[in-house]
Structure 1
Amino acid sequence: MSGVVAAMRRTLLSCTSLARHGAIVLATALSALPEPALADDLTITQALHALLDLNHQEFAALTTALSLLGFTVVAAILLMRTRIRATRLELGLRSDIAELQVQADRLRALLFAEPQILIAWAAGDNRPQISGDASLLISQDALSNSPQRILAFGTWLPPEPALQMDHAVDALREAGEGFLLNLSTSNGRAIEAMGRAIGGQAIVRIRELGGLRRELAESNLRYRTLLEETELLRDFAAAAPWPIWAKSAEGNLRYANTAYVRATEGASVADTIHRNLELLENDHRTEMGRVLSDNSTYTARLPIVVGGERRVYDVQALRLGGGSAGIAIDASEATQLRDAMERMAEAHRRTLDQLSSGVAVFDGQRRLAFYNESYRRLWGLDQAFLDSNPDDSSVLDRLRAARKLPEQPDFRAWKAKLHEAYRAVEPENYTWFLPDGRAVSVVTTPNLEGGVTYLFDNVTESLDLARRYDRLTRVQHETLDNLAEAVAVFGSNGRVELFNPAFLKMWKLSAESLKEQPHIETVEAWCKPLFDDALTWRALREAITAIENRAQVALKLERKDGSVLDCMTMPLPDGATLLTFQDITDTENVERALRERNEALEAADQMKVDFVHHVSYELRAPLTTIIGFAHFLSDPSTGPLTPKQAEYLDYVTKSTNALLALTNNILDLATIDAGAMKLELGPVNIEKAIQAAAEGIQDRLATDRIELKVDIDPDIGNFTGDERRVVQVLYNLLANAVGFSPHDAAVTISARRTEHRVIFTVSDSGPGIPAEVKDKVFDWFESHSHGSRHRGAGLGLSLVRSFVELHGGKVRVDSVVGKGTTVTCDFPIDQNAHRNAAE
């Protein structure tokens, strides 16, 4: 404004007189207008007076002069007035702004008089304005790097409150929903977060609670927490499957849940409370009231009838300030399980008592909770001591004092290591070598419920057996390696598992190739250059790889190199197969020679038999003729004979009779050997058969002065047999005994009967039979004339054995050199029964 006045002053002073008069007119015109106040409270007229330094006369003259300007200067006057008004308006606004700034500073100082943070989001702007002391929530260092980190609520709030804050801020910005939250920061500060939508902005204020306001917020928080807990507990009690109730101090029912209503068969909770229905019986309620009156907790396992079924419940009740509360938990299943567990534990105890292994169970306090009889016997501990539940250390100390533990240089360290089993997870195995020579296997097993179970086994014999087994295995390996016989073992998969050097040498194989465990087919391919018989190798493959019908296979291999092998497969119990090869080339050659010789001997023997048979038949006809004519000549009707003729005829008769008997014996033996001899079975009178045989040797008895003693029972009876052959057997035995008996000796024949057999015995007192010829007395043409006065053809005892065996009997010779010989013939009584048994 001062600049305008100065400009006007300079203009007016430079005007001509006419101009001065015009200025006066302008002043007059201005004075006619309304006079707004200037900054210094001067009117425009006063200003003009001051600026032009005019008196009133001059000013009047000036006004008159200016009036002459007329409408020419009206526009200039209006323009000047407008500018003056604008200037005055600007001055007023500046004054208002200054006052508002002062008021804003005063309000800001009042707003931030306490620590708080303001976060404001303008409409459509995602970048908020943050004011206040942000160090209230985040350290100053973090804020210096990024003030926006205060919006990461998870950095200064726990997870759940941070999520709650995120949802509240999102609802405020999107829908203008205000909120008021009382939260606790991660460092334990109590804060209040309030959000409002004001003037199109979303504003969040965060401040720390203190004093009464903090206590009120904490009280509200505790109230809400308690209210939630109370509602949760009420919902839990209502939904719980166990009867829950509360009573007043007078014993009246004040609360009951749904399970209590069902158990007492009430219509509803209100009906149950109104009727004061009781769950327990009178005596149980009386006992519970007595216990609760002493301010004690009542605990009992009681039978309760629920839904017409008697079940077992664990009842617990306690006294409260205004009465009592109780709960009944169904323990029927638990009771059954406990009984079952007790029965199972008892069964396990009985089972453990029957074990040969010593078992000792120590509980979590390291005290003996269980032991079996084998444990007591193994360590020789006193039963009274074990029944007193000693601790583990006491047991070990007693065993150490009795020198029943391994000798240890540091027993405390050894015991501490053993007791590590109480803190272990996996079982541990030990072997204790005791001073008395025993070896004990020890297994420590941690128990799930605490404690340790010790398992003791006397493995002295097992270790001894293992040592002997290892020694035997080494011996067997050495034996196998030194066998001349080639041996190889093939597993159930058909691969070589074991072989000896003889096997390598026999088939010209290398040890390195067989150590690779080749299959039998590969081994076969390696062995084919020496032996290439497909059928034989197929049989060996099937014997080695067969799963069922595993049988022993014996084969003979004649290889290309001229050698002969005896092959044998032997199934082993573990599914493997033992394959052996034995070089029998020399044996085979000897066997062939022996076989050829045997065939020649058999042919010669058969030729001898045929010759004897043929000659016997050829001799019988002329012998019969000679015997016939001799009898005819000795007959008196043919005429008298001179003494010399009679003597010669007697010699002829005896010789022909002897020759006929020999021929008959040879024919009988040949018939028996050919299997053509048939017995003519019938009843045999034992006494008469002995008499008939004795009559045949009467002349010998008389000539040699031999006494015949007969020892039989008159009632001995009969048995089934061929009478003629039985007499022939007895005759030959008697003739043989008389021939070997000295003069004036005695020959005894006896017969006795058992339930199933008739036994004939002929004894003499001759020189006896030496042991080296005893087995040959029954052979053909074996005549042993040592000690005998009569040399025979050696067919008598052969016929005896043949005829007795045809009857199903047995012949036994007992002889002592120098004392005599006894021959025993055993005949079965019933031939039919004997034949049926043989068939």
Structure 2
Amino acid sequence: MEVSPTLLALIGLLLAVWTGAAVWLMLRATTRAQAAEAHRKAALRLARMVEEGPAIPLTVRTDGRIEAPDRLARWLGLERVPEYLSELAREDGTGLSDEQIEELSTLVRRTQRTAKPFKLSLRPPGSGKMLAMRGALADPAVSPSGAALIWVFDFTETEDELARLEEEAARARDDFGALVGLIEAAPMPMWFRGADMHLRLVNRAYVEAVGGESADQVVTEQVELVERVGGRTAAEVAQQAADRRQPIERIVSATIKDARRTIRVTDLPLVGEGIAGYAVDIEEMEEQAREFRAFREAQRSMLDQLSIGVAQFDARRRMTFANQPFHRTFSLPPGVVNERTSFEQMLMVARENGRIPEVRDFPAWRGELVEWFQRDDPEEMAWPLPDGTHLRVIAQPLPDGGLVMIAEDRTEQLALSATRDTLLRTRTATFDSLFEALAVFAPDGHLELWNRGFPKAWGLDGEVLDNHPQAEELLEAIAGQLADPKAIAQIGQTIRSATLDRKNREGRIELADGRTLDYAGVPLPDGNGLLTVLDVTASQQAEEALRERNRALEEADAVMTRFLANMSYEFRTPLTTIGGFAEMLESGLAGELSPQAAEYVAAITQSVGKLTEQVENVLDLSQSEAGLMPLRKQRVELLPLLTRIVRKREQAILDGGLTLDLKGNANKVVDADQQQLQRALGQLLDNAINNTPQGGKIVIDVAKQRGLNRIAINDTGRGMSQHELARALEGIRMSADGKGIERRHGLGIPLARQLVEAHGGTLDIQSRRNAGTSAVITLP
């Protein structure tokens, strides 16, 4: 069967149309599927956005049914969203309360009837969230049956923030009120300027300072507290502070309450507000500063007068002051204070001058000294310097972080202390080595010091004194050692007189063991009293023996006096009788004598004369030594007296072939016993004649020296040695056993000395072997 071309064309056209339609349907279906997918994704996205949004939609239908996401159930503390609005309240306390459900239902019904929106805030009891509900009639596209759409917001954080802000606002209002009250009650003037630099607010102190009537009057008239200074007004200075955005502080003078005062004015810019200002009255501070400066200058002037070195350092360890002794102590140059030398540099300079101790690690040692500035308590150190100087250094930290350094030269004090210790030890050793018992009592009566002999003298145990007892306790212990215990009051009175009355007092007391003690109280310069005790038992016994011997000597002296008186008569009478009979025989009364008998008589006469002279010498010497020599003084001219003495010995001088030279002033006169002085001079002249060989020379010189009469007899004789001269001066002395008389050289020189001394003069004899003898008599 053949198919026509037309049919084929129609079939092809039909197939083409069908294919096109199939393709169009496929394309349309694909487009719708894509659109549906897009709508689905959009719906999911919108649902997710709603889910993640800050608000949750709640739809309430007219029959009470509700629709809401599960997130609302979690906000309400429920497991799931219930079906009806009334079911939002649960018996277990979750969800909303009955009152909240009732209020919400009422608002929803009103909105459904009147389409009036509502707002409601509530806090579910079973949840800690604060919910805000905004309700309105739902759009018909959402719910065409007149349902209510409620948006539920969680504004818990917002509510807390609002509460906090309200609290802060309330606090700010209170603080502002308190600040305003504080500013108003402030004792210092305070003010506020606007952006135009005009006064807007002043406090009561400002009004009183400028003498205004009220704050409004002062602000209205723009009364300034500070006058124009340096060509700038107070407003211009405030503008400058605003331009710089920095506070400006200055010290000016202003009239406050009709008195000129010094004030510190501060202009403080407030960002975006204006300029605040306040003035502090520093007149008293300035006065104190002036007084402090004057005090500091006076203090430093006083410190310059001290012998102790003082230096001050500030908080940055710079030297601000050092007196002259400090400069001398550490050998510092004059400009250290003006140059603000640091503490470390000062130590370095002192080290270079050898005025600090020698240390092994100087930097570490200096670091330790720098720590003085951080300490709270003063530090004291002893610095022995290389030259032997000992310094006492005190570092006193100051409250402001500075330091006061004091250096005292203790070298002399240490030397004095060592000397004092030596003296104390010497005193103790001296006390202990004395025979006397010593004790020192303080003014309050306690025993301070004693030597080893003190307890021994009183018969006490040394342990009794170890605790330095009071005088009363010591006297009680001593009373038991006395023969008469009541006599202890005398010792107490002696101690009291030495310590309190400052008077010397002494006494004697008997002990029970038979000893006798002499005691004396002596006030000491330091206010103490010294009690000295001496055992005089032996001396008292010796004194008694001496008294007995003295009585014996007095009796012997009386016997000797009677003996001398008797001997004077007994010796002279026989000699006078013998001499008288010899003269009678020589004159021929008994008849003519043969030549030999005449020679015998002449010899007898001569011997009688010599014996009479010797007897006179012995008696005179004995009387002189016994103090019984009678003197009958009168005015005697020395030169005529010496002339008569020389004339009487003229023959002996000629026979000895001697030369005699007598010289002196004829007006020399003394008060003396002429006979006794003549005998003394005759004895010395006889000694010179007898000891001068032929051809020798004798010189007698009478002179006046230093108001005294001087008679010198010099010869060129044989002289005497010192031993011989001593024996010649001794003359006759008692034997060693006191029972006889020893004859030494002769009676002439001793008798002459006794006679001269009886006249109140002196006899000085100088002699040398083969060089002659010089006898010098000095008479007043």
TM-score bracket for this pair, using the shorter chain length: 0.5 to 0.7
CA distance in 2, matches of 1:306, 1:822: 112
Contact preservation (8 Å) 2:188, 2:278: no
Q: Percent identity?
A: 24
Of residues 295, 320, 333 in structure 2, which corresponds to 1:341? 295
User: Is residue 745 of structure 1 aligned with residue 699 of structure 2?
Assistant: no
Contact preservation (8 Å) 1:623, 1:660: no
Q: What's the offset of the Cα at 1:801?
A: 1.4
CA distance in 1, matches of 2:633, 2:526: 56
In structure 1, give the amino acid aligned to 2:613. Answer: A
- What secondary structure, in the 3-state scheme, does the structure 2 residue paired with 1:444 have? strand
Deviations 1:525-564 (A, max 9, x none): 5455553234653322222244334455555555444445
Change (3 A) 1:822 1:472: same
Q: How is 1:42-441 mapped onto 2 (pairs within 5 angstroms)? A: 102=102, 113=121, 217=170, 220-221=173-174, 223-233=176-186, 236-237=188-189, 295=240, 314=262, 330=283, 333-334=287-288, 337-338=291-292, 340-352=294-306, 355=307, 357-384=308-335, 388-400=339-351, 404-408=355-359, 411=362, 414-441=365-392
Deviations 1:392-419 (A, max 9, x none): 2233344456665445466555444444
Change (3 A) 1:747 1:558: farther
- What secondary structure, in the 3-state scheme, does the structure 2 residue paired with 1:548 have? helix
In structure 1, give the amino acid aligned to 2:650. Answer: Q
User: Is residue 701 of structure 1 aligned with residue 656 of structure 2?
Assistant: no
Deviations 1:709-745 (A, max 9, x none): 335357xx44563372665554444344444444433
Change (3 A) 1:324 1:225: closer
Q: What's the offset of the Cα at 1:387?
A: 5.7
Change (3 A) 1:300 1:210: closer
Residue in 2 that maps onto 1:722: 672
In structure 2, give the amino acid aligned to 1:232. Answer: A
Of residues 747, 752, 757 in structure 2, which corresponds to 1:801? 757
CA distance in 2, matches of 1:408, 1:721: 86
Change (3 A) 1:427 1:695: farther
Q: What's the offset of the Cα at 1:800?
A: 0.9
Q: What's the offset of the Cα at 1:598?
A: 5.1
Residue in 2 that maps onto 1:533: 484
Q: Which 5+ residue runs of structure 2 have no aligned equivalent?
A: 1-97, 108-117, 131-156, 191-195, 242-247, 269-273, 735-740
CA distance in 2, matches of 1:222, 1:423: 41
Contact preservation (8 Å) 1:692, 1:727: no
In structure 1, give the amino acid aligned to 2:755. Answer: L
CA distance in 1, matches of 2:236, 2:579: 138
Change (3 A) 1:342 1:418: closer
User: Is residue 655 of structure 1 aligned with residue 615 of structure 2?
Assistant: no
Change (3 A) 1:771 1:555: farther
Normalised by the size of structure 1, how large is the TM-score? 0.57
Contact preservation (8 Å) 2:732, 2:747: no
Q: What's the offset of the Cα at 1:826?
A: 3.6
Deviations 1:27-61 (A, max 9, x none): xxxxxxxxxxxxxxxxxxxxxxxxxxxxxxxxxxx
Q: How is 1:441-452 mapped onto 2 (pairs within 5 angstroms)? A: 441-452=392-403
CA distance in 1, matches of 2:256, 2:660: 110
Contact preservation (8 Å) 2:318, 2:343: yes
User: Is residue 612 of structure 1 aligned with residue 564 of structure 2?
Assistant: yes
Contact preservation (8 Å) 2:249, 2:266: yes
Residue in 2 that maps onto 1:758: 709
User: Is residue 600 of structure 1 aligned with residue 574 of structure 2?
Assistant: no
Q: What's the offset of the Cα at 1:630?
A: 8.2
In structure 2, give the amino acid aligned to 1:441. Answer: R
CA distance in 1, matches of 2:439, 2:727: 44
CA distance in 1, matches of 2:728, 2:104: 153
User: Is residue 691 of structure 1 aligned with residue 643 of structure 2?
Assistant: yes
Contact preservation (8 Å) 1:490, 1:577: yes
CA distance in 1, matches of 2:119, 2:721: 150
- Paired positions, count: 619
Deviations 1:318-353 (A, max 9, x none): 77989999787646854762464155224313312x
CA distance in 2, matches of 1:633, 1:649: 11
- What secondary structure, in the 3-state scheme, does the structure 1 residue paired with 2:177 have? helix
In structure 1, give the amino acid aligned to 2:304. Answer: R
Q: What's the offset of the Cα at 1:802?
A: 1.4
- What secondary structure, in the 3-state scheme, does the structure 1 residue paired with 2:482 have? coil
CA distance in 2, matches of 1:302, 1:532: 94
Contact preservation (8 Å) 1:780, 1:795: no
In structure 2, give the amino acid aligned to 1:360. Answer: A
Deviations 1:771-798 (A, max 9, x none): 6974993887799998x7x764842211
Change (3 A) 1:391 1:329: closer
Change (3 A) 1:580 1:316: closer
In structure 2, give the amino acid aligned to 1:651. Answer: Q
| 449-458 vs 292-301, which moves further | 292-301
- What secondary structure, in the 3-state scheme, does the structure 1 residue paired with 2:328 have? helix
In structure 1, give the amino acid aligned to 2:640. Answer: K
Change (3 A) 1:349 1:505: closer
Change (3 A) 1:708 1:348: same
Change (3 A) 1:114 1:507: farther
Of residues 765, 772, 776 in structure 2, which corresponds to 1:824? 776
CA distance in 1, matches of 2:615, 2:508: 53
CA distance in 1, matches of 2:753, 2:470: 63
In structure 2, give the amino acid aligned to 1:710. Answer: L
Of residues 669, 672, 677 in structure 1, which corresponds to 2:624? 669
Contact preservation (8 Å) 2:732, 2:743: no
- What secondary structure, in the 3-state scheme, does the structure 1 residue paired with 2:755 have? helix
Contact preservation (8 Å) 1:486, 1:502: yes
Contact preservation (8 Å) 2:437, 2:452: yes
In structure 2, give the amino acid aligned to 1:722. Answer: A
Contact preservation (8 Å) 1:425, 1:446: yes
- What secondary structure, in the 3-state scheme, does the structure 2 residue paired with 1:824 have? strand
- What secondary structure, in the 3-state scheme, does the structure 1 residue paired with 2:729 have? coil
CA distance in 2, matches of 1:301, 1:700: 126
